[in-house]
Amino acid sequence: MAGVNVKSEIKPLKRVLLHRPGRELLNLTPNTLEELLFDDIPFLKVAQEEHDAFAQALRDNGVEVVYLEDLMTEVLDQNPDVREPFLKQFIEEAGIRTDRYQKIIFDYLNDNYPNNKDLVLKTMEGINLTELHTDKSNSLVDLVSEASKMVVAPMPNLYFTRDNFAMIGNGVSINRMYSVTRNRETIYGEYIFEYHPDFKDVPQYYSRYNTFHIEGGDILNLNEHVLAVGISQRTEPDAIDALAHNIFNDDTSPIDTILAFNIPNNRAMMHLDTVFTQIDTDKFTIHPGIMGPLTVFEITPEGDGIKVKETSGKLESILETYMGHPVELIPCGGGDRIAAEREQWNDGSNTLCIAPGVVCVYERNDVTNAVLEEKGIKLIVIPSAELSRGRGGPRCMSMPIWRED
């Protein structure tokens, strides 16, 4: 299955990208939570057990699981000349600006991590000043720095593989992330889609070097012809404009309509997939806060450019119009306000559909899960006590690479 093929949110999932939470979570501290976009510190051992259960549940249902860290390792193993430029770029993007520290960190990583898998995991984990064993008498910075200080910040959000690059039909958007702390995550996508034999020929619809932010949680493949993108806290309209131009200029792409949903700018609805996700041909889980009128912009090709038309209406009628059949919206928490707020906080409507009517859900959202079962949805329930502390559900933790047409 070389290349990518994702023209739906619900067609049978055959290949998916994950990242197993690693030692980067051990470098979260109460003082860095806000900067690193966490509300709490997950217990790594349990988070890994939960993530392994998620991966195994996918395998048990016929899905091939590939890991971000393994793809990047394969790039370095197969292209030895890439290791040095990757390391230098990683160090530069980590904010290391002085020649002295660039050399110290390069030598530390290159000498202590000859195995490429270990190196990749270390770049994700971050580097503590105490690891470097520098001569403090040579630098005022070293003398005044705390004894234990992260000189290279960790990337704890990496287990949310949905956001940093997104499959769109047979192409990919390599995203520019909203926050500085997450923008480094896309460096792995840059190398995978440049060098990995499975992915180097995939059309690229967006570049991590573009000016404007866009994240994968805001990108939903409604069907072969219609793409939905959220205008949100983390995705700017300018980025959607550029994405639309690139998709429409690709003669191989069947997408002829992009719907830009203007959603509230807040943490509870940070991405479009926290607002609604498709779970069957005619069913969606939704955030109850999105029941009112919505503003949606229809983007279509016109000549060498695009045409944008504003429309408004309820989510149900908008989806019915563009999908061509009636749909049913199932609110998180079953309509109970307290349950909805609690379970939305733990991503009750952020489900991963692996086939029509078959979805992965977090165990803890039992009110929403009971409603879904009543609606005839088959649930693959995964443990979530620690994974949920990162504020992302099964859809956030997965990037489909291949769905059957």
- Residues that are catalytic: 396
Q: How far apart are CA 354 and CA 333, in angstroms?
A: 22
Q: Which strand ranges, in their side-by-side order, compose the sheet holding 257-262?
A: 219-221, 226-231, 257-262, 294-302, 305-313
Contacts (Cβ under 8 Å, ≥6 apart) of 114: none
What are residue 268's phi and psi, to 5 degrees? -65, -25
- Side-chain half-sphere exposure of 244, counting CA atoms within 13 A: 27
Pairing outcome for strands 328-331 and 283-286: parallel
What amino acid is encoded at 311 in this protein? T
- Side-chain half-sphere exposure of 34, counting CA atoms within 13 A: 1
Instruction: Measure the N-to-C terminal CA separation of the chain; round to a whole number of Å.
Output: 13
Q: How far apart are CA 74 and CA 55, in angstroms?
A: 20
DSSP state at residue 63: P
Task: Assign 33 to helix, strand or coil.
Answer: coil
Distance, CA of 335 to chain centre: 28
Q: How far apart are CA 377 and CA 350, in angstroms?
A: 15
Cβ atoms within 10 Å of 230's Cβ, excluding its own: 27
Q: How far apart are CA 317 and CA 322, in angstroms?
A: 9
Q: Are 54 and 360 in contact (CB under 8 A)?
A: yes
Cβ atoms within 10 Å of 118's Cβ, excluding its own: 13
∠ CA 37-188-48, rounded to 5°: 55
3-state helix, strand, coil in the chain (%, to 5): 40, 25, 35
Pairing outcome for strands 378-382 and 358-362: parallel
Please give the torsion angle defined by the CA atoms of residues 71, 5, 260 and 277, in that order, rounded to the nearest 10 degrees: -80
